């Protein structure tokens, strides 16, 4: 049976009315040989990524920046983003190829909604030229995965019995591995030289009651000083500093509190990481709570006081909506856009896609098109395996799919959803040999992520032939209830609106924002299939 979050954890979150975090910290690699700084674009605009990438850890390896983020119950987990300028990002891969942490992540008798990959850490170890991902799962243990390239393959190095909550991994200048972790009570652990075991752990700081909760650790060594960067969810950022080594003692300073953010209607930037460019400039990448879309990365320059404390550079007393672009070497290439067309060419999924829980890999394939064979018999989309999701691009965007439904069977349901704890979809129903395109809303979960509504059909139209185009548009600007709308086309050119507007829920407690989702499940018997030959994500 699915277990709800520990009461203490939930009450703490509710009291602060904010989002959790992913923690990660890593030593910053030494600057590579200097190249002439490019004549950067005059300025960049926040958020630098208007998609849901929360609890960011950020590092630089040579001339390349990498960031990791939370994915909860989505699989593969812990995406690794790549950038050459801190502003333009692409998804390079995932640190967790599969969520192999129990049957609930397979939708097998239980569900892992709002579990899985929370605040975790991404680091690079120069001595063996290896990337490390570290994170705790289900409050039970910590997992470490490694790869020599962020694209993978990633493999599990070890498990550690101590659950390093919201952990930040530091590769010290002498190659020792340390982990900062905890909530309110902050601890530091030392790992064995091979990273497989805990050698020592010690409490290093207790958060003053006047501050409340601190978590989301990032661990750094900068100019001989040790720093633990911590979040007060969801409106503050603090930092601890030690001149006496990784185990302290530490002193604390506030970095920001109740700072106006760069997204109208959104929250305070918090819970992210610090990174240094090749030329020595420092930046802080945080996220902004911006539901219904999720948590969006924002970037601001950092300066340092003479006694070694970071200061966020503000614009008119706020985190700026625009700053001068970082001066970095000329990128070797343009990054892959996070919007545009995916024709499912080749034989593998592109890293922009994540499944809702682990897929049944015997029930899908890619061969110049995506085939989804029914994997679950259910009338509940939240129980259906092999639902494939894509982040929504803000502030508004539209997803369009071309769907071949000729191989569907009676009782099958396939289409395009706006997926969260309150969902709606447009798609095809095959019943009694007849085919209809329908709009369904009223798919809901309660606060323990149990299904409370399996959906109500609110509009339908008979269709013929074996091919249809489905479209979903979403407004994910925060601050008010926002609409999602659905349309269909029988020729790929002329689209017809179907059903009423769907109101996107903006409660934070599901943590992940709305996603576009492709699905195909049975309500009677397995055996049917659909084929998706094109997906396009576009902005106005």
User: What does the pLDDT average to over 276-287?
Assistant: 98
pLDDT in tens, 223-266: 999 999 999 999 999 999 999 999 999 999 999 999 999 999 99
User: What does the pLDDT average to over 461-470?
Assistant: 97
Helices H, strands E: what count in the chain?
1, 39
* pLDDT for the residue 15: 34
What confidence category does residue 28 fall into, taking pLDDT thresholds of 50, 70 and 90?
very low
Residue 12 has pLDDT above 80, yes or no: no
* pLDDT for the residue 64: 98
* Contact (Cβ atoms closer than 8 angstroms) between residue 370 and residue 518: yes
Alpha-carbon gap, residue 89 to 81, rounded angstroms? 6
pLDDT in tens, 426-452: 999 999 999 999 999 999 999 999 999
* pLDDT for the residue 153: 98
* pLDDT for the residue 38: 44
pLDDT in tens, 82-133: 999 999 999 999 999 999 999 999 999 999 999 999 999 999 999 999 999 9
* Contact (Cβ atoms closer than 8 angstroms) between residue 510 and residue 528: no
Assign domain 20-324 to its CATH superfamily.
Answer: Glycosyl hydrolase domain; family 43 (2.115.10.20)
Q: Which of 11-20, 128-137, 448-457 has the lowest mean pLDDT?
A: 11-20
Q: Which of 33-37, 169-173, 445-449, 480-484 has the lowest mean pLDDT?
A: 33-37
> What pTM was estimated for this model as a whole?
0.92
Q: Any residues with CB less than 8 A from the CB of 142 and at least 6 apart, and which?
A: 134, 135, 136, 159, 160, 161, 162, 163, 164, 167
User: What does the pLDDT average to over 5-17?
Assistant: 33
Phi, psi of 55 (to 5 degrees): 60, 55
What confidence category does residue 8 fall into, taking pLDDT thresholds of 50, 70 and 90?
very low
Tokens, residue 5? 């979050």
What confidence category does residue 41 fall into, taking pLDDT thresholds of 50, 70 and 90?
low
What are the E-state strand segments in 318-419?
Answer: 322-324, 340-342, 353-356, 364-366, 370-373, 388-391, 396-404, 412-419
pLDDT in tens, 177-217: 999 999 999 999 999 999 999 999 999 999 999 999 999 99
What CATH topology corresponds to 340-538? Jelly Rolls (2.60.120)
Domain map of the chain by residue range? 20-324, 340-538
């Amino acid at each position: 049976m699915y277990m709800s979050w520990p009461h203490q954890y939930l009450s703490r979150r509710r009291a602060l009315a904010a989002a959790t975090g992913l923690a990660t910290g890593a030593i910053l690699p030494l600057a590579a040989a200097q190249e002439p700084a490019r004549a950067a674009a005059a300025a960049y605009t926040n958020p630098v990524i208007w998609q849901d990438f929360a609890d960011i850890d950020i590092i630089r390896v040579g001339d390349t920046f990498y960031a990791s983020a939370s994915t909860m119950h989505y699989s593969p987990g812990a995406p690794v983003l790549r950038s050459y300028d801190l502003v333009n990002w692409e998804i390079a891969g995932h640190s967790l190829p599969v969520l192999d942490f129990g049957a609930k992540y397979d939708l097998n008798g239980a569900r892992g909604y709002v579990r899985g990959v929370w605040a975790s850490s991404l680091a690079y170890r120069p001595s063996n030229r290896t990337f490390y991902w570290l994170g705790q799962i289900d409050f039970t243990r910590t997992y470490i995965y490694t790869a020599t390239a962020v694209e993978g393959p990633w493999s599990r190095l070890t498990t550690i019995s101590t659950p390093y909550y919201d952990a930040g991994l530091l590769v010290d200048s002498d190659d020792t591995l340390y982990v900062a972790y905890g909530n309110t009570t902050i601890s530091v652990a030392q790992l064995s030289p091979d990273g497989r075991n805990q050698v020592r752990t010690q409490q290093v700081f207790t958060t003053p009651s006047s501050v409340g909760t601190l978590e989301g650790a990032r661990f750094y060594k900068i100019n001989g000083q040790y720093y633990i960067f911590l979040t007060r969810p969801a409106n503050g950022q603090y930092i601890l500093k030690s001149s006496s080594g990784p185990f302290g003692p530490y002193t604390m300073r506030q970095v920001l509190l109740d700072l106006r953010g760069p997204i109208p209607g959104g929250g305070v930037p918090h819970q992210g990481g610090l990174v240094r460019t090749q030329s020595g400039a420092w930046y802080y990448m945080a996220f902004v709570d911006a539901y219904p879309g999720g948590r969006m990365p924002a970037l601001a320059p950092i300066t340092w006081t003479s006694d070694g404390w970071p200061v966020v550079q503000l614009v008119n007393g706020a985190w700026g909506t625009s700053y001068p672009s970082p001066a970095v070497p000329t990128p070797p290439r343009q990054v892959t856009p996070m919007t545009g067309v995916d024709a499912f060419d080749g034989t593998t999924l592109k890293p922009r896609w994540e499944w809702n829980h682990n897929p049944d890999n015997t029930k899908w394939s890619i061969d110049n098109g995506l085939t989804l064979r029914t994997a679950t018999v259910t009338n509940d989309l939240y129980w259906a395996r092999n639902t494939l999701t894509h982040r929504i691009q803000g502030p508004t965007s539209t997803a369009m799919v071309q769907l071949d439904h000729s191989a569907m069977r009676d009782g099958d349901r396939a289409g395009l959803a706006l997926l969260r704890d309150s969902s709606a979809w447009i798609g095809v129903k095959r019943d009694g040999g007849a085919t209809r395109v329908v709009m369904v809303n009223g798919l809901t979960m309660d606060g323990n992520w149990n299904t409370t509504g399996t959906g109500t059909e609110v509009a339908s139209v008979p269709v013929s032939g074996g091919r249809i185009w489905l479209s979903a548009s979403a407004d994910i600007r925060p601050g008010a209830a926002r609409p999602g709308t659905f349309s269909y086309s029988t020729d790929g050119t002329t689209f017809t609106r179907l059903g009423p507007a769907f109101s996107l829920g903006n409660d934070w407690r599901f943590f992940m924002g709305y996603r576009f989702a492709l699905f195909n499940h049975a309500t009677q018997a397995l055996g049917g299939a659909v084929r998706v030959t094109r997906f396009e994500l576009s902005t106005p």
